[in-house]
Amino acid sequence: MKFCRFDYDCLGLIEGDVVHDITPALDALPPLRWPVPLGDPLIAHLPALMEAARRVPRSASPRLLSQVKLHSPITNPSKVMAAPANYRLHVQQDTKDPGVDPGGTHMKALEGVERPAEKYGLFLKATSAIAGAAEGVQIVLPERRTDHELELAVVIGRAGHAIRREEAMQHVAGYCIGLDMTVRGTEDRSFRKSPDTYTVLGPCFVTADEIPDPHALSMSLWVNGERRQHSSTGAMTIDIPDLIAIASSVYTLHPGDVILTGTPEGVGPVLPGDVVRVACDGLGEMTLRVSHHP
Ligand code: MN
């Protein structure tokens, strides 16, 4: 199933090019009371939500997907984790052209490192950085360079710690397209990658049963109609089961937690006024604007 959050707080079920408003299905989620459990309640209760979603009567005139405002389908992860340098050609691009990444992440320390996320671990992005296509990317430091990083976002469904590779995929609830927006520079990655709107998720959350092989998805990113990134998720260096094993070796993973799996080659700067389009097999596509932070 493909769930979206649209027009602020409506829950949508996407079928083809229409969105069914299934907001009443949220009644399947238990009421929350302090202290609120870690994680996203929608993902934590996904089987009940999917069952309820099937029962909500469909409107005779559903909205067109192209006509709704899409917000992030994931709202309350306990953390957003991200893999550094997880596509070989991305690392080579930056290493060959120091101008691409002045003083940035892909320094000499990555040369000769076969599996960077094993050596350097995953990094965290503030959960307040999450946005959807409707918000777009809001540039906070216009004098600095902000790059797009197109990534497959894996959403954790079942909590776990020290998850073994062999069992890792059973902990995946589904997938989104992710944008790991990044200010280039010398500050810690968690600072440069965590401004508001610098983690765009969408256009929807696709349950894992719809994506039989998440390592065989073609994904692309265009800026103002020019294709900048185009790759297959099969090119990632450390695959999803190993990323889950690495992450859960230190963190307990909670429902709704997001793992950004790294970006392929072709990253580049965006400026206010740019229009970014992203697409991925099985996950759909979305278009968003780059603007100044208000
Ligand atoms: Mn990234």
Arithmetic mean of pLDDT over the chain: 94
Expressed in angstroms and rounded, the spacing between residue 20 Cα and the centre of ligand 1 is 32
27: number of Cβ within 10 Å: 12
- Label residue 269 exposed, middle or buried (CB < 10 Å: 0-12, 13-18, 19+): middle
What pLDDT does residue 103 have? 43
Expressed in angstroms and rounded, the spacing between residue 285 Cα and the centre of ligand 1 is 19
Expressed in angstroms and rounded, the spacing between residue 122 Cα and the centre of ligand 1 is 10
Which residues are found with C-beta within 5 Å of the ion, ligand 1? Answer: 149, 180, 263
Expressed in angstroms and rounded, the spacing between residue 193 Cα and the centre of ligand 1 is 9
**CATH 3.90.850.10 intervals, the chain:** 80-292
Residue 195 pLDDT more than 80? Answer: yes
List pLDDT tens digits, range 261-273.
999 999 999 999 9
List pLDDT tens digits, range 83-140.
999 998 888 776 455 555 544 455 667 878 889 899 999 999 999 999 999 999 999 9
Reported residue count of the chain is 294
Expressed in angstroms and rounded, the spacing between residue 210 Cα and the centre of ligand 1 is 24
For residue 77, whether the previous peptide bond is cis, meaning omega lies within 30 degrees of 0, is no
Is the separation of the CB atoms in 200 and 148 below 8 Å?
A: no
Tokens of 181: 């927006």
Expressed in angstroms and rounded, the spacing between residue 40 Cα and the centre of ligand 1 is 22
**Shortest CA distance to 163 belongs to which of 155, 154, 172?**
172
Expressed in angstroms and rounded, the spacing between residue 57 Cα and the centre of ligand 1 is 40
DSSP bridge pairs for 258: 80, 155
Expressed in angstroms and rounded, the spacing between residue 151 Cα and the centre of ligand 1 is 7
What pLDDT does residue 190 have? 96
Local confidence band at 25 (pLDDT 50, 70, 90 cut-offs):
very high
- The fold of the 80-292 domain, in CATH, is Fumarylacetoacetate hydrolase; domain 2 (3.90.850)
Distance CA 108, CA 52 (A): 52
DSSP bridge pairs for 219: 231, 280
Tokens 């090019």 belong to: 17
Local confidence band at 198 (pLDDT 50, 70, 90 cut-offs):
very high
What pLDDT does residue 141 have? 94
List pLDDT tens digits, range 46-61.
999 999 999 999 988 8
Distance CA 43, CA 208 (A): 12
Expressed in angstroms and rounded, the spacing between residue 247 Cα and the centre of ligand 1 is 15
What pLDDT does residue 97 have? 52
Is the separation of the CB atoms in 146 and 181 below 8 Å?
A: yes
List pLDDT tens digits, range 203-251.
999 999 999 999 999 999 999 999 999 999 999 999 999 999 999 999 9
Expressed in angstroms and rounded, the spacing between residue 181 Cα and the centre of ligand 1 is 7
List pLDDT tens digits, range 70-87.
999 999 999 999 999 999
Tokens of 200: 């765009």
List pLDDT tens digits, range 245-266.
999 999 999 999 999 999 999 9
Expressed in angstroms and rounded, the spacing between residue 106 Cα and the centre of ligand 1 is 11
Mapped to the 3 state alphabet, what secondary structure does the chain carry? CEEEEECCCEEEEEECCEEEECHHHHHHCCCCCCCCCCCCHHHHCHHHHHHHHHHCCCCCCCEEHHHCCEECCCCCCCCEEECCCCEHHHHHHHHHCHHHCCCCCCCHHHCCCCCHHHHHCCEEECHHHEECCCCCEEECCCCCCEEECEEEEEEECCCECCCCHHHHHHHEEEEEEEEECEECCCCCHHHHCCCCCCEEEEEEEEEHHHCCCCCCCEEEEEECCEEEEEEEHHHECCCHHHHHHHHHCCCCECCCCEEECCCCCCCEEECCCCEEEEEECCCEEEEEEEEECC
Is the separation of the CB atoms in 181 and 137 below 8 Å?
A: yes
**Shortest CA distance to 189 belongs to which of 124, 137, 134?**
124
Expressed in angstroms and rounded, the spacing between residue 28 Cα and the centre of ligand 1 is 35
Is the separation of the CB atoms in 157 and 167 below 8 Å?
A: no
Expressed in angstroms and rounded, the spacing between residue 150 Cα and the centre of ligand 1 is 7
What pLDDT does residue 104 have? 47
